[in-house]
Amino acid sequence: MGAGILPTAIHNNKLYFLFGKENKYADTPGWCDFGGGTEKGESFMKTTLREGTEETTGFLGSEQDLGKMLKKHGTYNIEFSDGKYRMHIFPYEYDEKLPFYYNNNQRFLQKRLEPELVKKSKIFEKAEIKWVCVDDLPKMRKDFRFYFKVVVDDILKQKNDIFNFIKKAMREKTPKNVTRKNRH
């Protein structure tokens, strides 16, 4: 089992997803959500909060902060790997500077720390992050991790539902969670 987050914004009336790119030591390189495997006894949500915080190195806040955001706005869930992985799409305010600050911080730390520490540490799994417009997903599909390409396809199939969820969630206090399972 595993779980992750995908911060999502509406900017200029278009969906934007905040993706992370695996560091150079990853066995499966490319872009994807911020997530990973479940530790013993963890629920999907606990895994989501832990992995989301680790892989963003706290740039979105602590586990508690992230939990409050997800609870406040709800999540649009996409499950894959036969229901063994749940990605929580949630509304996040678009901030064009967020990737700039995160990426500068990662480059600075990774240049100055021992390569072995960077390779083994959970907080350096993502070398960079970027906002990606839904319209750019098809041409960028080849740059995603191999197993995440089917998720990109699902996002594209569900883009109208995701847009409506994000738009509504930003207006409401606590909408209910929505889960969509892919057919793969």
Strand segments (E) across 12-106: 14-22, 31-32, 34-37, 76-80, 85-91
Would you call 139 helix, strand, or coil by DSSP? helix
CATH number of the domain within which 157 lies = 3.90.79.10
pLDDT score for 175: 44
User: Rounded distance, CA 82 to CA 91, Å?
Assistant: 25
91-135 pLDDT, tens per residue?
999 999 999 999 999 999 988 989 888 888 877 889 999 999 999
Instruction: Tell me which residue range forms the domain holding 172.
Output: 2-181
Q: Look at the chain and report how many structural domains it folds into.
A: 1
20-74 pLDDT, tens per residue?
999 887 778 899 999 999 999 999 999 999 999 999 999 999 999 999 999 999 9
Enter the tokens of residue 140.
């960028």
SS (H, E, C) 59-70: CCCCHHHHHHHH
Q: pTM, whole model, 2 decimals?
A: 0.90
Residue 179 reports pLDDT greater than 70: no
